[in-house]
Structure 1
Amino acid sequence: MTVLVLASKSPARLATLRSAGIEPFVLVSDVDEDAAVVAARAQHDGPDELAAEDVALLLANAKCEAVASVLAQDEVPAETPDAFIEDGGIILGCDSVLEFDGAILGKPADAADARARWHAMRGRSGTLHTGHWIVDDRVEGTGATFGAVSSTIVHFADLDDAEIDAYVATGEPLWVAGAFTIDGLAGAYVERIEGDPHTVVGLGLPLLREMLAEIGVAWHELWNMAA
């Protein structure tokens, strides 16, 4: 069994892996996402040089590399599994952003921001990009570190003002990229998607399977939960 370390505090990503038979070791990074994006844009000689998929990938990389650095120290967190300490494992970082009307949208700043987004998005569509980055930190692994992005077009229902107000009042849209979910309260507000639904949740399982295959790890080698 190969240990998978999830460098994310997202309950949706954890639930997605669990539903696929994988119980990861969760170790949340301390990456300042806004600062990471500002620094990357500065390196690209302008505030708008990064595409939405680039932002998703660079944040996934930052989270993954930050956790990999923690696990590379002499003293790892006390909760680190013995199996990882002995044989290492694979570290996974993910991040999602919504590309809408030429803007790159992460989590809303506040309720007013979430409400304004839904007023703009209702009856229209956007593209949800989820970046994935892995570090092969197995003792006998490849040592590879690389990433990929999965993108899915999301078509939003034409909500009325009362529906938007009710949804924002739940607080859910404040904690998710793009201010919506398909696996939570906003599931009824997404009419259809074009692409992998797991990508919209925040972790594209088909893409992750392909990435693992590149380093010689079969998907079933991650299964560690009883049926």
Structure 2
Amino acid sequence: MAVQLVLASASPARLATLRAAGLAPHVQVSGVDEPAVIADLESRGGVLPPAEHALALARAKCDDVANALAPHDGPQVVLGCDSVLEIAGEVHGKPETPQVAVARWRRMRGGSGVLHSGHALTDLRTGQQVSRTASTVVHFADVSDAEIETYVGTGEPLRVAGGFTVDGLGGAFVTAVEGDYHNVVGVSLPLVRELLLELGIGWWDLERSQPGS
């Protein structure tokens, strides 16, 4: 029996990436309060480095959905992901407001950052969880103020980690990627495969989409 993959994320880009790889993930969005998770962890251990920040949220999302799922009649794994952009050691998530997005792009242009995507995978049959962060260096074009204002005006950068996409409207402003391209989109396919193997599950064991679907 194929293993059902449950994606604990509302990200259309992550879903599209998994589907493009031939998988048929089921989506169940977590209800995690992200700021509360980070605040709790940092109150006990200090400020989290960017890679650990992304991993902590990925684990929290994975746990939230894994705990909520009812018993299934077949094998299931839950995948939680979270992405942040690191610039000069600082964590940057979704800008949320145009003002923040414009300021961030003025800082990023002509430079580079590291996109960290935390991945957590739980096998619901055993309760075992494995997790890791994938990190990719992203280089940005030296865009003008007018280009920034127009891009931010589309609304796209407000809703994505780091305030940019590589697979959407922001692709023209990314000059190079060092590492896994799909990790910048939000989910590293090679890392997911490696984590599955740690759980004793093969890539081809996952439930796959039907041809033409």
TM class by shorter-chain length? over 0.9
Counterpart check, 1:163 vs 2:147: yes
Helix, strand or coil at the partner of 2:59: helix
> Which residue number corresponds to residue 116 of structure 1?
103
Question: Which residue of structure 2 lines up, in the alignment, with residue 25 of structure 1?
Answer: 26
CA-CA distance at 1:85 after TM superposition: 1.7
CA distance in structure 1 between the aligned counterparts of 2:37 and 2:128, rounded to whole angstroms: 22
**Structure-1 residue corresponding to 2:136:** 152
SS at match of 2:72: helix
- Give the partner amino acid of 1:121: M
| Aligned-residue offset at 1:18 | 0.3
Q: Which residue does the alignment assign to 2:38? A: 37
Name the TM-score, length of structure 2 as normaliser.
0.96
Deviations 1:106-140 (A, max 9, x none): 101311000000000000000000000011113xx
Note if contact 2:96-2:159 (Cα within 8 Å) is conserved in structure 1.
no
Q: Give aligned pairs, total.
A: 210
- What percent identity do the matched residue pairs reach? 53
Separation in 2, partners of 1:88, 1:220: 14
* 1:53 aligns to 2:37 (yes or no): no
Deviates further, 214-223 or 92-101: 214-223
**1:66 and 2:77 aligned:** no
Unaligned runs of 5+ residues in structure 2 are none
Match of 2:93 in 1: 106
In the alignment, structure 1 segments of 5+ residues that lack a partner are 77-83
1:1-227, aligned counterparts within 5 Å? 1-44=2-45, 46=46, 48=47, 50-71=48-69, 76=70, 85-138=72-125, 142-227=126-211
Could you tell me how far apart the structure 2 residues matched to 1:116 and 1:17 are?
Answer: 32
Query: RMSD value over aligned CA atoms?
Result: 1.1
Moved over 4 A (4+): none
Q: TM-score, normalised by structure 1?
A: 0.90
Distance in structure 1 (CA, Å) of the matches to 2:44 and 2:162: 25
Tell me how far apart the structure 2 counterparts of residues 103 and 214 of structure 1 sit (CA, whole Å). Answer: 31
